[in-house]
A and B are shown apart, each in its own frame.
Chain A
Amino acid sequence: MVDSSAAVAVRLEDVQKTYRTGEVDVHAVRGVSLEIARGEFVALMGSSGSGKSTLMNILGCLDRPTSGRYFLDGDDVSGLSRDELADVRNRKLGFVFQNFNLLTRTSALENVELPLLYGTVRLSNAQLRDKAERVLEAVGLQGRGDHHPSQLSGGQQQRVAVARALINDPEVLLADEPTGNLDSRTSVEVMGIFQDLNAKGITIIMVTHEPDIASYARRNVVMRDGRIVSDRAVTRRFHATEELEKLNELPPDVVEPTVQP
């Protein structure tokens, strides 16, 4: 089943997810239809229990919808097996997590190489290293390849995670609360990286509950009780470079989290 529109990265058709816990059915996602075009930067918002995490798991091919269909890059992936989903994740998706999920006591380079080890393409050690070094450079970590996560700041660790997500040239970059464990300045820096990547044409879907972080995206989708209640383009978009400049002008003790007027 091939989708006719090649410009569509992600399309959900009436996706539902029901968990059965004992006698009670929990409807985490109750019929979501959503289309995300190539090159979009979408923030998926909602309070806890809104179903955004479940939807993110389905978008990330970590979970399968109970009903409905999910097209990723034109292919229906809603009925794939565990191993087939793993291959889709490897080839088409990149993940950035709130707690970075880097392997400890493992160098940044080796962390970044990780998806390549599970890929179908055979690469020599030199090629692996070369590729990993290039993506590390793309996130501004050139020369830090030999550092272990414990030797890196939170922002640098998240950049390593972004590099790992990028190494297989994914169709979609999925970020689950990417700034949840970072201070405001580092959050802005990571958003800056996301905006740069998006400007280069990479599709990004980001889950966040912080409205100001969502304002770095181009489009905000809000969920409540398993349904989409709002889907709109961001009108007053934040640009990380400007916000960083503002932070630099202010003395450190009056730095406020940027709030939309």
Chain B
Amino acid sequence: MRIASTFKIALRALRRNKLRSALTALGIIIGVGAVIAMVSIGNGAKAQVEAQIAGLGENVILIFSGSTTSSGIRTGWGGAGTLKIEDAEAIRREIPAVTLVSEEVVSNAQVAAGNQNWFTRIYGESADYFDLRQWALADGAPFTSQDVRSANKVCVIGRTTATQIFGSEDVVGQVLRVKNVPFQITGVLTPKGLSSQGTDQDDIVIMPYTSAMKRVLGGGTTLRNINAQVAGRHDLAPAQQQIIELLRQRHNIRAGRDDDFTVRTQEEIAATATATTETMTALLAGVAVISLVVGGIGIMNIMLVSVTERTREIGTRMAVGAHGRDILTQFLIEAISLSAVGGIIGIITGIIAAKTIAAMKNWPSLISPASIIVAFLVSTAVGVFFGFYPARKAAQLDPIDALRYE
């Protein structure tokens, strides 16, 4: 009986001060909303990074020219041209676990067709690249090993490049001029969207690396990197080791000297990227938790004001038979109601905010049921925690003083 009627009393009190109750709950609404939105955006970003790393292909090993651990001069990945075409061929030939290899060179160039032109990235790859990256074509066909061997003037383009140059025209079979060299377009890639760095992955031209080196880069024999794929996940580590040994031997690096190349497995890259997004998620959640605490302090503040303002009411209630415990419960329920209702509205707001931001940024938003439950429980706990002190203050009032309070 007492709990039920105390509930009734507390809710009546909140209804008497609708605007104040709403404003107080607003602190929690914003806090919980921020938690839900931040966590789901963080999770969405993480999922997207994971998807992109998976998009590299399965069981991929990346070999970059240059070393990040080089003593003395640090050149960074792809910095110094130490990888040769012959290195890639040696890997293909001598390491049995490696199933696919793609030599890669990269350049930026102005491309044109008709009276349209566009500045885009040019990737030189082997014919294995599309299998290795599991990048299917939306239209047409990829170039062949024969095209690579003969350095034919053929290319495959991304959706963005296609739209910029040709509009809605059918592009397969058209001619694209790259640095004034005409290339025949054999296919259009399926769109991949934005990368985690925000670059458009569909703004691209892919051609045989031989053609790129000869006709776009203007000579040279060094590769930016080599992409390799092994048969299974268990082959990754041994293959990585074998590649390192092979390349050290080929580059005549004596024992004790640093590599002039870097070998990374996809798992290592994934781990780094995941750690980054997890840090970001934790940071966002931390900011959100701070706003939740600020909301809680808002509740405490209003409850303290409310206790002072309603001192006579408390005295009256005590005079007609309320125990200290009844008063404590009443004010606690008021605080918890504010924070719990704020929590529910905050969850809805947070979901809407997460969906909106995700839609604007073209990100997936992952709203986990766990984060909703946790947010609700935390908001209720905030009510208990920040409501307790004012409620206890009310419960400990002396009825005589409270009745005379002006």
| Contact (Cβ within 8 A) A62 B326 | no
- Residues of chain B with a CB closer than 8 A to A89's CB: 319-321
| Contact (Cβ within 8 A) B5 A105 | no
Query: B2, B5, B321, B400 — which one has the most chain A CB atoms within 10 A of its CB?
Result: B321
B403 is an interface residue with CB less than 8 A from chain A: yes
| Contact (Cβ within 8 A) B5 A57 | no
- Give the nearest-CB partner of B1 in chain A: A122
A103 is an interface residue with CB less than 8 A from chain B: yes
| Contact (Cβ within 8 A) A62 B319 | yes
- Give the nearest-CB partner of A122 in chain B: B1
Interface size on A, residues (CB 8 A): 30
CB within 8 Å of B: which A97-115 residues: 97, 99, 101-106, 110, 114-115
B12 is an interface residue with CB less than 8 A from chain A: yes
B69 is an interface residue with CB less than 8 A from chain A: no
- Residues of chain B with a CB closer than 8 A to A115's CB: 320-321
B324 is an interface residue with CB less than 8 A from chain A: yes
Evaluate whether A118 and B326 lie within 8 angstroms (CB atoms) in the complex, with A57-B400, A62-B399, A86-B321 already known: yes
CB within 8 Å of B: which A68-117 residues: 82-83, 86-87, 89-91, 95, 97, 99, 101-106, 110, 114-115, 117
Tell me the complex Cα distance, A110–B322, Å: 15
CB contact between A97 and one of B1, B313, B324, B403 (< 8 Å): that residue: B403
- Residues of chain A with a CB closer than 8 A to B317's CB: 114, 118
A159 is an interface residue with CB less than 8 A from chain B: no
- Residues of chain A with a CB closer than 8 A to B9's CB: 117
- Residues of chain A with a CB closer than 8 A to B12's CB: 106, 110
A119 is an interface residue with CB less than 8 A from chain B: yes
- Cβ contacts B367-406/A at 8 Å (1 or 0 each): 0000000000000000000000000000000011001000
- Residues of chain B with a CB closer than 8 A to A164's CB: 320
| Contact (Cβ within 8 A) B5 A106 | no
Tell me the complex Cα distance, A115–B313, Å: 13
- Give the nearest-CB partner of A92 in chain B: B321
Tell me the complex Cα distance, A89–B320, Å: 6
| Contact (Cβ within 8 A) A91 B321 | yes
- Residues of chain A with a CB closer than 8 A to B16's CB: 104-106
Query: A90, A97, A115, A117 — which one has the most chain B CB atoms within 10 A of its CB?
Result: A117
| Contact (Cβ within 8 A) A63 B403 | no
CB contact between A103 and one of B5, B316, B324 (< 8 Å): that residue: B316
B226 is an interface residue with CB less than 8 A from chain A: no
CB contact between A86 and one of B8, B316, B322 (< 8 Å): that residue: B322
CB within 8 Å of A: which B100-124 residues: none
In the assembled complex, how far is the CB of residue B365 from the closest CB belonging to chain A, in whole angstroms? 43
In the assembled complex, how far is the CB of residue A29 from the closest CB belonging to chain B, in whole angstroms? 14
B315 is an interface residue with CB less than 8 A from chain A: yes
A60 is an interface residue with CB less than 8 A from chain B: yes
| Contact (Cβ within 8 A) B320 A118 | yes
| Contact (Cβ within 8 A) A101 B315 | yes
Tell me the complex Cα distance, A89–B313, Å: 16
- Residues of chain A with a CB closer than 8 A to B325's CB: 83
| Contact (Cβ within 8 A) A95 B321 | no
In the assembled complex, how far is the CB of residue B14 from the closest CB belonging to chain A, in whole angstroms? 12
In the assembled complex, how far is the CB of residue A21 from the closest CB belonging to chain B, in whole angstroms? 14
CB within 8 Å of B: which A110-157 residues: 110, 114-115, 117-122
| Contact (Cβ within 8 A) A60 B319 | yes
In the assembled complex, how far is the CB of residue A7 from the closest CB belonging to chain B, in whole angstroms? 25
- Residues of chain A with a CB closer than 8 A to B323's CB: 82-83, 86-87, 118
| Contact (Cβ within 8 A) B321 A62 | no
CB within 8 Å of A: which B3-40 residues: 5-6, 8-9, 12, 16
| Contact (Cβ within 8 A) A117 B5 | yes
CB contact between B400 and one of A62, A87, A117, A119 (< 8 Å): that residue: A62
In the assembled complex, how far is the CB of residue A79 from the closest CB belonging to chain B, in whole angstroms? 18
Please name 12 pairs of A and B residues whose Cβ atoms are closer than 8 Å in the assembled complex, sorted by A: A62-B399, A62-B403, A82-B323, A86-B323, A89-B320, A89-B321, A103-B313, A118-B5, A118-B323, A118-B326, A121-B1, A122-B1
Listed from nearest, the 10 A-B pairs whose CB atoms lie closest are: A90-B321, A118-B321, A115-B320, A117-B5, A101-B316, A105-B16, A122-B1, A83-B323, A118-B322, A95-B319
